[in-house]
């Protein structure tokens, strides 16, 4: 137990350092940008008609006049006190914007994550168990095609079929247009999240299914499965008892490692469905040079990704006794 705590502690320090690196790199990239935030947000014409004082006030507001390192130091100091600054576009605290956006993205991310995990594991096990036969070929073909398909095009396709053509689902947004926020029900929110979540799940399946298939195929050729067969166990028992348990582990790790990809996919999918989530906020912040907001979003998503990896590492030890003992020895 002590070893596990020490292990987690070391990992946490590493994560903190990585987050520091992420924030610094993001800051550096944003301040290296030749794009002038005043030009993009105020516009050339409006800028020309303004007085010198107004322009200077704007420069100060967008923070263009202070050197980047001073700004970074200031930002870091505030973050350590729990203040991520104020979004320049939304004119509200970054944490508030991120919190609001994240909570509406969370339905998408969670449902897609769980659905793609279970479905991917299932398809992978089936494909591995039927290796070389029809189910395997179908599943593998599906995975290869899906992993070659851009998420945003798939989103457009689903939008075309289910919203425009069949009219089953709304075109976009997370709530009906022109409705008071108090009148929006949970059902409305879910209803609007179906298509984006479906898109994310469909794309998320490929990776985990392909990896699970490889593992499963290895397991099916192993000596203990041969022995189980010789003992007269039926195929279902072999797959469930000997196969599933052994492929669970890598599948769990993969699924936690895929968080980054699902968040990345949500950026594109939310844009297509104009779903007001975290990804859409990131795009808006990026296009409008809203440094504090983009910085906040990047750091918080990176924290989620690293957190996922940490959970995977800890779970691995908890599920597989060999790793636990190996860690204790070293």
Partner 1 sequence: MRKQINQRQKAKILAAVVTVVLAAVTVCGILFTEAAMETDFLSRNQAPSAVHIFGTDWMGRDMLFRTLAGLSLSIRIGLLTAAISGAAALLIGIGAAVLGRKADASISWCIDLVMGIPHILLVMLISIACGRGFTGVVAGVALTHWPSLARVIRGEVLQLRQAPYILVAEKLGVSKMRISAVHMFPHLLPQFLTGTILLFPHAILHEASVTFLGFGLSSEQPAIGVILSESMQYLTTGKWWLALFPGLSLVLVVLLFAMLGERVRKLLDPASVHE
Q: Note the residues at the interface with partner 1 (CB under 8 A).
A: 14, 17-18, 21-22, 25-26, 28-30, 32-35, 144-145, 147-153, 156-157, 159-160, 164-165, 171, 260-261, 263-265, 267-268, 271-272, 282-283, 286-287, 289, 294, 297-298, 301-302, 305-306
If the CB atoms of residues 23 and 212 are measured against partner 1, the closer one turns out to be 23
Shortest distance (Å) from residue 159 CB to partner 1: 6
If the CB atoms of residues 161 and 235 are measured against partner 1, the closer one turns out to be 161
If the CB atoms of residues 156 and 248 are measured against partner 1, the closer one turns out to be 156
* Start-to-end Cα distance in the chain: 14
DSSP-derived letter for residue 86 is: B
Shortest distance (Å) from residue 278 CB to partner 1: 10
CA distance 243 to 225: 8
Shortest distance (Å) from residue 146 CB to partner 1: 10
Scored b (16 or more CB within 10 A) or e, 9-30 reads eeeeeebeeebeebbeebbeeb
Cα dihedral value 10, 13, 17, 18, nearest 10: 60
Shortest distance (Å) from residue 33 CB to partner 1: 5
CA distance 176 to 183: 10
Tokens matching residue 211 = 């990896």
Tokens matching residue 175 = 């709530």
Shortest distance (Å) from residue 110 CB to partner 1: 16
CB 227 within 8 A of CB 167: no
Shortest distance (Å) from residue 35 CB to partner 1: 6
If the CB atoms of residues 201 and 289 are measured against partner 1, the closer one turns out to be 289
Shortest distance (Å) from residue 268 CB to partner 1: 6
If the CB atoms of residues 251 and 281 are measured against partner 1, the closer one turns out to be 281
If the CB atoms of residues 28 and 57 are measured against partner 1, the closer one turns out to be 28
Give 253's contacts (C-beta < 8 A, 6+ positions apart): 312, 315, 316
- DSSP secondary structure of 123-180: HHHHHHHTTTSHHHHHHHHHHHHHHTS-HHHHHHHHIIIIIIIS--S-SS-SS-TT--
CA distance 66 to 29: 16
If the CB atoms of residues 203 and 244 are measured against partner 1, the closer one turns out to be 203
């Amino acid at each position: 137990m002590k070893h596990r705590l020490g292990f987690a502690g070391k990992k946490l320090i590493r994560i903190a350092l990585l987050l520091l690196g992420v924030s610094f790199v993001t800051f550096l990239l944003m301040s290296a940008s030749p794009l002038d935030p005043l030009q993009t947000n105020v516009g050339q014409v409006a800028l020309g008609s303004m007085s010198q004082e107004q322009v200077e006030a704007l420069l100060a507001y967008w923070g263009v006049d202070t050197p980047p390192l001073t700004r970074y130091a200031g930002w870091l100091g505030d973050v350590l006190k729990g203040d991520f600054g104020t979004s320049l576009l939304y004119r509200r605290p970054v944490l508030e914007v991120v919190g609001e956006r994240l909570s509406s993205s969370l339905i998408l991310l969670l449902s897609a994550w769980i659905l793609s995990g279970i479905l991917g594991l299932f398809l992978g096990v089936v494909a591995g168990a039927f290796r070389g036969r029809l189910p395997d070929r179908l599943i593998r073909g599906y995975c290869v095609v899906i992993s070659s398909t851009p998420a945003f095009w798939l989103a457009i396709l689903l939008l075309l079929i289910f919203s425009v053509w069949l009219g089953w689902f709304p075109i976009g947004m997370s709530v009906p247009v022109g409705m008071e926020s108090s009148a929006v029900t949970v059902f409305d929110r879910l209803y609007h999240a179906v298509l984006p979540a479906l898109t994310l799940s469909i794309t998320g399946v490929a990776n985990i299914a392909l990896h699970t298939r490889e593992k499963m195929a290895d397991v099916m050729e192993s000596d203990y499965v041969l022995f189980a067969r010789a003992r007269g166990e039926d195929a279902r028992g072999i797959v469930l008892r000997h196969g599933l348990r052994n492929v669970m582990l890598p599948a769990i790790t993969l699924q936690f490692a895929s968080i980054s990809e699902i968040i990345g996919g949500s950026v594109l999918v939310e844009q297509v469905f104009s779903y007001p989530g975290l990804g859409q906020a990131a795009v808006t912040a990026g296009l409008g040079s809203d440094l504090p907001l983009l910085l906040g979003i990047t750091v918080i998503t990176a924290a989620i990704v690293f957190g996922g990896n940490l959970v995977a590492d800890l779970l691995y030890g908890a599920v597989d006794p060999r790793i636990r003992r190996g860690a204790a020895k070293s």
